[in-house]
Amino acid sequence: MGIRKAVIPVAGLGTRFLPATKSLPKEMLPLLNKPAIQYIVEEAVSAGIDDVLLITGRLKRAIEDHFDRIHLVEKHLEMSGKTELLRIVVEPAGLANLHYIRQPEPRGLGHAVLQARWHVGKEPFALLLGDDVYQGDPAAISQLIAVHEETGMSVVGVLPVSMAETGRYGIADFGPEDANPAKGPVLARDFVEKPDPEEAPSNWAIMGRYVLTPDIFEALEETPKGRGGEIQLTDALRTLARRGRVCVVALQGERYDVGDPVSFVKSTIAMALRDPAIGPEIRDFVTALLAEGVRQAAAAAEEPGAEKRA
Q: Is 124 a binder of ligand UTP (CB under 6 A)?
A: no
Q: Would you say 14 or 157 has its CB closer to ligand UTP?
A: 14
Query: What phi, psi does 81 have (nearest 5°)?
Result: 70, 20
Q: Is 40 a binder of ligand UTP (CB under 6 A)?
A: no
Classify burial at 275, counting beta carbons within 10 Å of its beta carbon; exposed 0-12, middle 13-18, buried 19 or more: middle
Q: Is 170 a binder of ligand UTP (CB under 6 A)?
A: no
C-alpha 307 chain-centroid distance: 46
Q: Is 119 a binder of ligand UTP (CB under 6 A)?
A: no
How far apart, in whole angstroms, are the C-alpha atoms of residue 7 and residue 92? 17
Of the candidate spans 12-20, 42-50, 249-257, 289-297, the one that interacts with ligand UTP by CB under 6 A turns out to be 12-20
- CB atoms closer than 10 angstroms to residue 176: 8
Position closest to ligand UTP via CB: 12
Element holding 86 (H helix, E strand) = helix 83-90
155 close to 247: Cβ distance less than 8 angstroms: yes
How far apart, in whole angstroms, are the C-alpha atoms of residue 201 and residue 197? 9
Instruction: Please pick, from the candidates 12, 157, 170, 181, the single residue that binds ligand UTP as defined by CB under 6 A.
Output: 12
Site for ligand UTP in 247-266 (CB under 6 A): 259
Q: Would you say 92 or 259 has its CB closer to ligand UTP?
A: 259
Q: Is 232 a binder of ligand UTP (CB under 6 A)?
A: no
How far apart, in whole angstroms, are the C-alpha atoms of residue 21 and residue 285? 28
**Closest distance of CB 103 from ligand UTP, Å:** 5
Site string for ligand UTP, 264-283 (x = CB under 6 A): --------------------
Instruction: Point out which residues bind ligand UTP (CB under 6 A).
Output: 9-17, 27, 55, 103, 106-109, 111-112, 129-131, 259
